[in-house]
Amino acid sequence: METQAQVIDRPEKSRYEILAHAHAGVGADAHDDGTETAGFAEYHLSEGEIAFIHTEIDPRFGGRGLGGLLARGALDDARARGLRVLPYCPFIRGWIGKHPEYADLVPEARRARLGL
């Protein structure tokens, strides 16, 4: 599992990003600390709700558990901000399904329709 990954909110891009060190070389998206944007979870924010619409991990960073860390970081931030979560993105929805301690973030009336 990746130990030096960091999840950050980029509200100007309407997405959470996960920053991690690449295994080899430095890509064009390198930051000053040597990390790169390894993936992101796009969202739409409105009146107390955050709708996750797309999640993507760069294939160069695959197999390192970064998708799960990204989901956990984004959902932990949503909880801290008191936001209701609408997991339209299949990855985020599936992750919540495997981690039922996060299901309470999804409005109860929407859970059945989302398969949660």
| pLDDT tens, position by position, 65-92 | 999 999 999 999 999 999 999 999 999 9
Tokens matching residue 49: 């709700």
Q: Which residues, in sequence order, are bridge partners of residue 20?
A: 36
Proportion of the chain in helix, strand, coil states, percent, rounded to 5: 35, 35, 35
pLDDT digits (tens, 9 = 90+) for 30-58: 555 678 999 999 999 999 999 999 999 99
pTM: 0.88
For domain 6-111, say whether CATH 3.40.630.30 is its number.
yes
